[in-house]
Structure 1
Amino acid sequence: MGNAISFEEPWARTHQFDPPAIFDALRKEQPLARMVYPDGHIGWIASGYEVARKVLSDPRFSHSTEIGHFPVTHHGQVMPNHPRIPGMFIHMDPPDHTRYRRLLTGEFTARRADRLAARARAVAAEQIAVMRDHGSPADLVADFAKPLSLRVLSELVGLPYSEAARYGHAPTLLHDPDTDPQEAVAAMGEATAFFTEIIELRRKAPQDDLISRLAAQDDLSDEELRNIVTLLLFAGYETTESALAVGVFALLHHSDQLAALRADPARLDAAIEELLRYLTVNQYDTYRTALEDIELNGETVRKGESVTVSLPAANRDPAKFACPATLDIGRETSGHVAFGFGIHQCLGQNLARVELRAGFAALLSAFPGLGLAVDFDDVPLRLKGSVFAVKSLPVSW
């Protein structure tokens, strides 16, 4: 096992848009390679497209936190195994995962998401007005991407955006490894307390929102419902906000692709899929643990060994996507794994696409001269953490 890489190597991103260079070598020689986890466990990392999909779709791999080995540290500390958390179904296997996910599937269908499109466009227009009122330059993250994502998701879930100060900053603090741990814990406590209040209110006076519909389920406890709300917020807010902001950053840097999109706005959906593939902001925490010995890619993954799947690396596999390091809004992107794969594939991907479509369309229409207000290398990035992001994006028009 002397050739096992450290868990830190695959996360050592140094470029604004590209995953760490080690993945290029791994895909050629060891698309399933040995990796030393933070707790000393010697498991695996999958960087090839095909092997990644196999791991994510094989029911012999578990996503349980009770047996898995975390591929990252939290504020520098090793993350221990812990019992499953009621309602936090992202880290559950069937049949428990199936039970919770089935309650939510109807809320996030493509048809339901499309019905939210008009509202997403209205929110985007309102945030454009905020940017205009602020004047050029403005921070696209604070004035546009964050509020657009949080407002649309909050309305669907049933969280009053007027009180976003009580819950909106918790996901950012928890996703950012540079945050003061005590500050993050305090923010999480405040958010969950707020969710408890809202659940109690919705049980007494239901509204047309997800919390009210879930509260009507006889077999869901307050604890389960609170954790479901927490999961939806943490999984759906920062990811979409980051995909939008980093996507704009990428288009402003790749002026030829931005020009092609402006020349033919009908290519917007294709451009969004390519940006999702090219950037893949979900960069950490995708791992599975073998429930039995499994033959995979010519290797034997032993029972109890964890396999980390690098979604950014899989989406840059030249065996699947030609010239994958090139941003090309005209390419065929079907099959990309920016939203994961298998039974844990992102539940809210249809909603995310609606928000991204509304956000990009509004910006392209409102600001024909949109550009960076700082040098390219001066845009502050969050390179580590579960979600790749820009901390701010100063733009002018």
Structure 2
Amino acid sequence: MLCSLNRFLILLFVVSALGASPLHASVKVGEFKNFDAVLTLEELGNQYQIGEHNTVVKVTNRLVVKARRGIDAKALINISPHIINPVTIFEMQYSKYWLVGISDVNLLGIVITELESHAGIELVQPDLLQISRKTSRADISREKKIDEHYFSALGLGAESARGRGVNVAVIDDGVDLAHPALAKTDVRFSYDTESRSLMAKPVLIEDTHGTKVAGVIFSRSDTFSGLAPNASLISIRQPSSWTSETLLSFYLAKLNNADVINCSWHTQLLLEPIADVVNDLAAFGRQGRGAVVVFAAGNDGVVIGPGMTEASIDSAFVVGASDIYGRPKKFSNTGKSVDFYVYGGRYKTTAVEGGDTYFSGTSLSAAIVSGLTASLLSDNPELSLSQISKKLSALSKVND
């Protein structure tokens, strides 16, 4: 657990980072760069559509700015008189991402141009709200308890530490830690990016997904048990997908020394800042051995193309859903970026406000990989990402 001072400093950082509430006025933005493309924002009422991608987003008076490490808040303010309250939202090995407020929403396009003309600025994008897609789905197939098959395939016996000493971040819609099966979980850090409080419990009636994910990894119950119940939880509630909040969620995971980061979701369009921070975590996290960032492939039954969603990030562990024989489910997204196909059928886990429920889809598959990875690392903490990936490849060969 972080000491009180560190938690207080992180709280101060987070409260200042998120800035003003989203505005729904007509914001003149125009174009912005994303990887090698230039994307156009086309006005659609109080929302925007990103050109040919048909992705609908909201925009506010904030920019996400990637700057070289020598650029500080004062230097950013000196670039444009319209910039206010720059705050670091992710610190990379060689660059920083900043959340920059703009004094007038109608000046976003002008400020983007001013920033892009500066030699120390590497990328500028409007802070966008996409709709994140949780990747669970109903499955009426018979329940399958496949845990022991997977433990056996990975060489994890009864003496395994089952996650002890490993920090697992769950970025989702909150975790009900009052659930009896989760009450003994070692919580390293908890934060809600919406309420800006040190509590990541579910708030809305639809906030059930994160508790299901946590149950797969951390639960302790007479009827079902998590895959890494001795791991420490970093619980981050991120109910919306503003780019700045996603970067902040990953930064909080990094500051809390996350070894594994579970993301049982994806957005509609992969934005370059998200790929940047995931690549940075995979390269430099876990004391240089690489943090394991796990994304669900998605349940749309499509082939994932390059740059399509977070499930196309090469450095992430991308997980599709399989049946009990290891065959990809028809609903599971596929493609070269999918690293593993893991059971995604009917699986018992924790429900909000007590009791149990069933979980399925690539959200489940991703949570299974996160839990098994935590158990692997508790027994073999020196494993590199490539070594972990090689061991996990055995999961696709497990059958009934």
TM-score by length of 2: 0.25
When you count strand as a share of all residues, which structure comes out higher?
A: 2
Which structure has the higher relative contact order (CA within 8 Å, separation 6+)?
1
Write 1 or 2 for the structure with the bigger share of helix.
1
